[in-house]
Every structure is written in C-alpha cells, then in structure tokens.
Amino acid sequence: MTVPENLSYTAEHEWVAIDDTVASVGITDFAQQALGDVVYVSVPAPGTAVTAGEPFGEVESTKSVSDLYSPVDGEVIEANAEIDDDPGLVNTDPYGAGWLVRIRMADDPAGLLTPEEYTALTKEAE
Amino acid sequence: MTTPDAAKPRQTPLHAVHEQLGASMTEFAGWLMPLRYRSETAEHQAVRGHAGLFDLSHMGEILVAGPGAAAALDYALVGQPSSMAPGRARYTMICAADGGVLDDLIVYRLDDEEFLVVANASNTSVADAALRGRADGHDARITDQTDAYALVAIQGPAAAGILGPLTDVALDGVKYYTSHRGTVAGREVLLARTGYTGEDGFELFSRPEDAEHIWRTLSGAGTAAGLVPAGLAARDTLRLEAGMPLYGNELGPDTTPFDAGLGRVVKLDKPGDFVGRAALEAAAQAPPRRILVGLRGGTRRVPRHGYPVLWDGQPAGTVTSGAPSPTLGVPIAMAYVEPEVADAGAAAGTGAGPGGAVPDETGPAGTAGGRLAVDIRGRAEPAVITPLPFYHRTQDRPR
C-alpha cells in the first residue's frame, strides 16, 4: 500500500493535492484495495458547491457501494471524465489517472491528515 | 458439532497457499477465506473463458451411513435420495416442519448405504443437528466430517482439459452431477462433476493434508491454459449470473423452495412422510406469496441485497442479491417481488419466454422501466425484469 508523501488525506480514505486554491481529490490506494474492482464512480458536475465532510458522490465496486465525502469547502471545477469510461483507473492508478474531481476551495482546508497520520489510521483499520 | 470461536475464524488446509498468493482474506461463516487474489473481475472472466481454482474447504461435509441411511434422508430432506443410484449427486434442501428452508444441499450417494451431504458453511451445524434428530429410529449414523475433508473446485471450460491428465478417472465418463472415487495428482479424492459457477467443472474432496499438493499440481498444470485462483467474490458473481440461489439471500427459514422457484426439488410424490410435507403440500397448491425474479439495472448504480423494489413508486419487493455483472456489463440482481409485479413486469419488460428480450410493442417503450424501480440508497433507479439465468453457457453440458 502506498501513501505518497506530497498529499494530504482524510479519515474517509481520500487524498487531496492542494495547488494554491485548487484541491484535486481521489481515493487512496488503501481504499481501492479494500473496495476491489471499481465499476462506477459518481461525482458532482462542475459548478456544484460542496461542503467539507458532506457526501458528494459514491463509488460502486463489485461487492459494495461507498460514499465519497468532500474533503474541503468549495465548488467543483472539473470531474475526471475518463473515470466514466474506465472506472478501473481508480484501481490501477489511484493517485494519478484515477483522480476524481478538482475543487476550487472557498477557504483554507482544515482537518486534513498528514501522510503519517493517515498511515497510522490504516494500520488501526487492519 | 463444531462451534467456531467467533473471535478467531478457522483456517482452511490451504491457508498457507492463500497467504503466499497474497490473497485478500475475509471472514465468512466463521472461516477465514480468500475474497480475491487480484482482480475479482479478472477471476470471474477467467472462469467463464478458461478456468478458476477455488478453495471451498469451508463447506460442511456430513456423512450419513448405515442400512437405514437412505430412509433417514428420505424423511429428513425434501428430495428422495433413496432413488439415487450410487455415484449420483443431487441438489436438494432440508426444510423445517413449516416448510422454511434450513439449508440447501448437495447429496452424493457414495454407496448403497453411504451418503455425503454437503452443506453451506454457515448452516453445517444446523443441518448436522437436524439430520441427527431426524435419523432417530433409523439405522443410520450421522457424522460431521467437515474437518476430515478439504474441498478444491476447478471450474470453467478448460477444467476438464487441465484435470484430465492429472487423474486416473476417465473424465469423459463422468456425467454432470455424478461422483467417482479416484486420484488426482496421486492423492485419493472423491471427484464430482458439480459446481456453483454456471460452467462445467469439478469438485475434489480430499484429505486435508493432500489439498495443498492437489492445489499446487492443478495450478502448475493449468496456468498455461488460463487457470487462475479465484476467491469468494468471483464465486458470488458467477453464481448470481447463473441464477443460482445463495442461502441467506434467496433462501432462508422464511422461504419455501416454492418461493424460490425451486419447487421441483420437493418430491411430494415420494412414499412416506418427511419433515415439512404438510406445509410444502399446501405451499405447492397455494398461489405464490412472492416470486423470485431476475432484474437488470437501468443505470450503472447497483441494486444490492436488502434494497426495496418499487412498482409505481410503492414498495413491491426486496432485492436478495445484486452485483455488477462482469459478463453482461450491467448491474444484475435477484429479487422477491409480489406476483402481480412479476407478471406485469415480465410482460412489459422482456416479452414472452426465455431469450425473448423483445421490446414491448403494445405499450409505451420501457413500460417496466417506467413502473419498476429499485430504491438505491434513497433514489429510485429504473430496472427491468429479465429471465433467469442471466448467463447460460453455450457449450453442451457434459453427458
């Protein structure tokens, strides 16, 4: 399981890459392994306002469906269209081509986890 | 009777193999079982296209032996094992007096006075206790032999080709739902042409200490033919596509075999009484309370176990199993629905008869899609009723 050093994380197993006021969001390697093969991801369309900690989409895998939670407050500016055609990208490249949405943040992010904190959390979950 | 320690699931004789393969393990019915090795979708497709290797050692094996074994089983089960020739296998059920299903089983007649009853892991102790109680007064010994057997299944169109050179049993002579004693990889097995995937395949009952050798030999011999290890996740989607019921989903103590569309396993014409006869005779005559149907989801969101089925927005049933179908590429499900819904939905959704995926030309397009839906996490998603099974292998079943 990989936990890249340059990202922030949430307890809901999402990663966040912050570039100035834009947050790119996906699910972690730990999450994709636990879910198994992802068959469908629904995320909000660009223009949708999202609130940190609130569900904003879902991930369907063979065995289960899980909510996605927005890690930040703001507005969705882009959704990864390739995920729609090839949801398996979430499994094969969760931190790269498997990204889900980009959000223009309304304010500074709060309550995100460091890689160390997230790693510790996944150890507890095992 | 074995009582698994809830805190510590049991390991199968193949546990070390699964660990070595890096399997993702899950607790299932008190056992630690491989859920998937890599991608469950790839495992599913390997079984459809080539072959898969399964560890099913969690299944319960109950031996019923003695001069009264056949009579005891005729009384205990809804089927008629006394009518089976030695070497034959049969899918059957054990029901409560009220007709509810306690477990679905495969019974193998090994000999005139010896039967192997294979039960679901979650129900082995229930089936064992029920068989003991019902054998009272018969000259038959019931022993739970689960710990004495490992069970490896090789399933898929390439299964016979892989297994053939490794066994002294002539597979051409092994008919569907029969069993033979022989060897595989030099180890004694009971070799049965049975399975739970909708494909041709074999189940190999062996001594626990022989399972790893059998597994590794099959695995080594089959890799070139596309054989892969397959976990419980693939097993579940394979059986769902094949329209096969799973105890706890389609079957349970509140379900009769007739509810599940499996009334044919109830041999009401067999002589003598059997447990559940009166209730099942009534169930056979009564109009169905609910009907098990196949559903095809109209969106990419997946109907899953327990989700309400809606007809014109009103609750009309419950999904029992559902998954994204790797073969069909759409969500599929089985559900119990009210009989009127089954009739109207089938008429509107898929035209008449099996294979008749014909749009209804008399009503508005997608009539069933408009009226029939599944409540998926608070949102009604359209669905259509479709004939079971969702998948039927095209090759002839082995004769």
Lowest-confidence region among B51-65, B208-222, B315-329, B350-364: B350-364
Could you tell me the pLDDT band of residue B395, with boundaries at 50, 70 and 90?
low
Instruction: Reply yes or no on whether the pLDDT at B352 is more than 90.
Output: no
Could you tell me the pLDDT band of residue B396, with boundaries at 50, 70 and 90?
low
CB contact under 8 A, A63 and B233: yes
The residues that bridge with B314 in the sheet, in sequence order, are B311
Note the pLDDT tens digit of each residue in A79-114: 999 999 999 999 999 999 999 999 999 999 999 999
Q: What is the mean pLDDT of residues B255-265?
A: 96
**Mutation site, A39, A40, A90, interface B, largest B CB count within 10 A:** A39
Could you tell me the pLDDT band of residue B12, with boundaries at 50, 70 and 90?
very high
Contact A65, B377 (CB under 8 A): yes
Q: Which regions of chain B carry the CATH code 3.30.1360.120?
A: 10-55+149-241
The nearest alpha carbon in chain B to A58 belongs to: B301
Query: Looking at residue B240, what is its pLDDT?
Result: 98
Residue with tokens 């004693």: B181
Superfamily designation of domain B288-386: Aminomethyltransferase beta-barrel domains (2.40.30.110)
CB contact under 8 A, B302 and A91: no
Superfamily designation of domain B10-55+149-241: Probable tRNA modification gtpase trme; domain 1 (3.30.1360.120)
The residues that bridge with B150 in the sheet, in sequence order, are B206
Q: Would an 8 Å CB–CB cutoff place A124 in contact with chain B?
A: no
Pairing type for strands B179-184 and B60-65 reads unpaired
Positions of E strands within B18-149: 24-28, 31-36, 51-55, 60-65, 89-95, 101-111, 114-119, 141-144
Query: Looking at residue B365, what is its pLDDT?
Result: 37
Contact B177, B399 (CB under 8 A): no
Looking from the CA of B95 toward its CB, the CA atoms found within 13 Å total: 32
Residue with tokens 């019915």: B29
Instruction: Reply yes or no on whether the pLDDT at B367 is more than 50.
Output: no
The mean pLDDT of chain B is 93
Contact B228, B162 (CB under 8 A): no
Task: State whether CATH 3.30.70.1400 applies to domain B60-137.
Answer: yes
Q: What percentage of chain B exceeds 70 in pLDDT?
A: 91
Residues of B in contact with A125 (CB under 8 A): none
Q: Would an 8 Å CB–CB cutoff place A62 in contact with chain B?
A: yes
CB contact under 8 A, B324 and A40: yes
Query: Looking at residue B6, what is its pLDDT?
Result: 57
CB contact under 8 A, A37 and B39: yes
Quote ipTM for the complex.
0.93
Domains of chain A: 8-107 (2.40.50.100)
Q: Would an 8 Å CB–CB cutoff place B33 in contact with chain A?
A: no
**Shortest Cα distance from A37 to chain B (angstroms)?**
6
The nearest alpha carbon in chain B to A33 belongs to: B24
Residues of B in contact with A62 (CB under 8 A): 40-41, 233, 237, 323-324, 326
Instruction: Please give the C-alpha separations between residue B113 and each of B82, B85, B180, B207, B336, in angstroms, as whole numbers.
Output: 10, 11, 16, 21, 39
Q: Which regions of chain B carry the CATH code 2.40.30.110?
A: 288-386
Query: Looking at residue B346, what is its pLDDT?
Result: 76
CB contact under 8 A, A40 and B24: no
